Amino acid sequence: MSRPNKNRPGRRRVLRALAAAPLVSLAAACEGVVPGKGPPPILYRLTPKSTFRSDLPTVQWQLVLQLPLANAGLSTTRIALYRNPTHLQYYARASWTDRAPSMVLTLMIESFENSGRIVAVGRESVGLRSDFVLKTELREFQTEYYGSDRPVAHVALNAKLVQSATRTIVASKNFDSRHEAGADRLSDVVSAFDEALGKCLKKLVEWTLVTGEEADRRRRRS
């Protein structure tokens, strides 16, 4: 009659551990090829405008800005590009810090504040009482690779200034700007976006202050 082996439970534990080891290694090896894995996108932001013409009026009325409208292709954090007029694409591993309309709205507000010529300005969601509402549509916000040797950043805005009391459109204007990138590199493309948007923001702020002040004076005289 054989004696029981006191080490048998310990041996079984060792064998189970050895059998499991290759499975752990295989899981670790497969982790790197899971779809969606990889480095996170590089985030980019643009800057507000801070220099304006010196003869702008200092206004006492208040302004509220609505979130710009945009089509689905532009209403995203992804940086858009066109290699031809009908084919929308996006840069890989690169994004804006916010959806394009939200980012542009923030830069508009900061640009108005940087002008130092308006008593109060804010976004509509804050619930401020306002004399005027600025409604905008972001119609172009992409890089274009056709018609030029280097990529061109294209920004276009439509703006409508609305008198809050009567809900009537005081005036409407389009702002359109293109700026060629120094090279076909993402850093140069973002710099071109900053220049193109900056030109639109400068013209938008100046037009709004002048047009709103003229409308406010007519209102006070009537």
**Residue 30 is assigned to a structural domain of this protein:** no
- pTM for the complete prediction? 0.82
**Residue 89 is assigned to a structural domain of this protein:** yes
Report which DSSP code applies to 2: P
**Residue 36 is assigned to a structural domain of this protein:** no
pLDDT of 54 reads 96
**Residue 17 is assigned to a structural domain of this protein:** no
Q: Can you give the residue range of the structural domain that contains 153?
A: 42-221
**Residue 12 is assigned to a structural domain of this protein:** no
Judged against a pLDDT cut of 50, whether residue 178 lies above it is answered with: yes
> How many CB atoms neighbour CB 221 within 10 A?
6
Pairing assessment for the beta strands 118-123 and 42-44 based on DSSP bridges: unpaired
pLDDT of 16 reads 41
Task: Give ∠ CA 203-53-176 in degrees, rounded to 5.
Answer: 15
Alpha helices per DSSP H over the chain? 8-31, 100-115, 186-221
The sign one gets for the Cα dihedral 129, 131, 137, 143 is negative
Pairwise CA distance, residues 159 & 174, whole Å: 6
The sign one gets for the Cα dihedral 145, 150, 155, 156 is negative
Closest CA to 110 of 156, 50, 69, 151: 50
pLDDT of 1 reads 47
pLDDT of 38 reads 72
Pairwise CA distance, residues 92 & 41, whole Å: 8
Whether the Cβ atoms of residue 138 and residue 193 lie closer than 8 Å to each other: no
Pairing assessment for the beta strands 87-96 and 118-123 based on DSSP bridges: unpaired
pLDDT of 125 reads 75
Burial zone of 107 (CB within 10 Å; 0-12 exposed, 13-18 middle, 19+ buried): buried
Share of the chain above pLDDT 70, in %: 82
Per-residue pLDDT of 150-172, as tens digits, reads 999 999 999 999 999 999 999 99
Per-residue pLDDT of 90-115, as tens digits, reads 999 999 999 999 999 999 999 999 99
pLDDT of 37 reads 63
For residues 202 and 148, the model is more confident at 202
The amino acid that residue 64 corresponds to is V
Give the mean pLDDT of 40-52. Answer: 96
Per-residue pLDDT of 59-81, as tens digits, reads 999 999 999 999 999 999 999 99
CATH number (domain holding residue 137) = 3.40.50.10610
Give the mean pLDDT of 182-191. Answer: 97
**Residue 166 is assigned to a structural domain of this protein:** yes
**Residue 112 is assigned to a structural domain of this protein:** yes
**Residue 182 is assigned to a structural domain of this protein:** yes
Label residue 126 by pLDDT band (50, 70, 90).
low
Q: What is the dihedral angle through the alpha carbons of 193, 142, 188, 179, rounded to the nearest 10 degrees?
A: -60
Q: Total domain count for the chain?
A: 1
Per-residue pLDDT of 5-42, as tens digits, reads 545 444 444 334 333 333 333 233 333 333 456 788 99
